[in-house]
């Protein structure tokens, strides 16, 4: 979601430092008060600058949020990129889930602020939809490849399965991290559990065990212990 924030970018080191300080302060205020409850004066106070300095770099709080969102989405997209160099399908899922939950732990509250803003502004709604659409698309293609290779069950639709599994992880991340239900929890256990549900739901362990002639429980034990 790269959009014009309404002001020219700073040309000096001092200007860049001031702008970055404003963005860091704004993020903290947005996360504490939400989008509707945040004012430019709150951002200026949190950054320790004058009210006028805030308007030197940003036209309004919407422009501030857009600047934050650009950086945030770049990080989230990078985190959701699947590990193409991981050949084992279950380890691949585990790594994808680990990256997703790590991104949600870092940005969960800000993503909630973005969802709040999306209720009124279609640009934010499109940005969130783009994340979900791209993520589901990548997972769907991965499932289709696994089905073609005989590793995943073929009696489920790849796109619908991807949408359901991604929604499960997204919802888990929102409640477990974004809303604090998992405070102090074991992150490795969360990642392993979600990956187990993915693998079982797609029949990956059963198909892998049949193709190798080994019982599925041995695969489960090896994979789980490898993530501890």
Domains and CATH numbers, the chain: 13-62 (1.10.10.60), 81-225 (1.10.357.10)
* H-type alpha helices, the chain: 13-33, 40-47, 51-57, 61-80, 89-118, 122-148, 158-173, 187-201, 204-212, 216-225
Dihedral angle of Cα 80, 82, 86, 91, to the nearest 10 degrees: 60
pLDDT band at 219 (very low <50, low <70, confident <90, very high): very low
Could you tell me which residues come within 8 angstroms of residue 5 by beta carbon, excluding any fewer than 6 positions away?
58, 59, 63, 64, 66, 67
pLDDT beyond 80 at 11: no
Q: Which two tokens stand for residue 39?
A: 């004012």
pLDDT band at 27 (very low <50, low <70, confident <90, very high): very high
Please tell me the predicted confidence (pLDDT) of residue 217: 36
| Residue with the two structure tokens 């499932």 | 143
pLDDT beyond 50 at 66: yes
pLDDT beyond 50 at 134: yes
pLDDT band at 84 (very low <50, low <70, confident <90, very high): low
pTM, two decimal places? 0.71
Could you tell me which residues come within 8 angstroms of residue 109 by beta carbon, excluding any fewer than 6 positions away?
31, 178
> Residue range 20-45: average pLDDT?
95
pLDDT band at 228 (very low <50, low <70, confident <90, very high): very low
Please tell me the predicted confidence (pLDDT) of residue 103: 83
> Residue range 134-146: average pLDDT?
90
Please tell me the predicted confidence (pLDDT) of residue 212: 44
pLDDT band at 131 (very low <50, low <70, confident <90, very high): confident
pLDDT beyond 50 at 213: no
Could you tell me which residues come within 8 angstroms of residue 189 by beta carbon, excluding any fewer than 6 positions away?
none
Q: Which two tokens stand for residue 38?
A: 């945040």
CA distance 125 to 111: 11
Please tell me the predicted confidence (pLDDT) of residue 72: 84
Please tell me the predicted confidence (pLDDT) of residue 58: 93
Could you tell me which residues come within 8 angstroms of residue 223 by beta carbon, excluding any fewer than 6 positions away?
90, 91, 94, 192, 195, 199
Q: In a 3-state reduction of DSSP, which class is residue 147?
A: helix
Signed CA dihedral, 60, 43, 66, 7: sign only: positive
CA distances from 226 to 88, 160, 163 (A): 13, 29, 27
Residue 61 Rama label (left phi>0; alpha psi -120 to 50; beta): alpha
């Amino acid at each position: 979601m790269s959009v014009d924030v309404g002001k020219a970018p700073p040309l000096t080191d001092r200007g860049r430092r001031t702008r970055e300080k404003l963005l860091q302060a704004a993020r903290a205020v947005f996360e504490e008060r939400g989008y509707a409850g945040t004012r430019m004066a709150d951002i200026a106070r949190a950054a320790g600058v004058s009210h006028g300095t805030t308007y030197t770099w940003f036209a309004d709080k919407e422009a501030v949020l857009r600047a934050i969102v650009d950086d945030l989405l770049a990080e989230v997209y990078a985190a959701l990129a699947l590990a193409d160099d991981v050949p084992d399908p279950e380890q691949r899922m585990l790594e994808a889930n680990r990256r997703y939950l790590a991104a949600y732990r870092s940005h969960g509250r800000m993503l909630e602020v973005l969802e709040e803003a999306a209720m009124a502004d279609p640009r934010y709604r499109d940005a969130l939809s783009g994340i979900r659409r791209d993520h589901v698309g990548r997972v769907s293609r991965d499932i289709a490849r696994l089905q073609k290779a005989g590793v995943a069950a073929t009696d489920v639709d790849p796109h619908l399965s991807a949408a359901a599994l991604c929604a499960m992880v997204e919802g888990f991340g929102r409640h477990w991290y974004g809303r604090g239900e998992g405070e102090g929890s074991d992150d490795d256990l969360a990642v392993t559990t979600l990956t187990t549900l993915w693998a079982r739901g797609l029949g990956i362990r059963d198909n892998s065990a049949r193709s190798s002639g080994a019982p599925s429980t041995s695969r489960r034990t090896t994979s789980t212990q490898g993530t501890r």
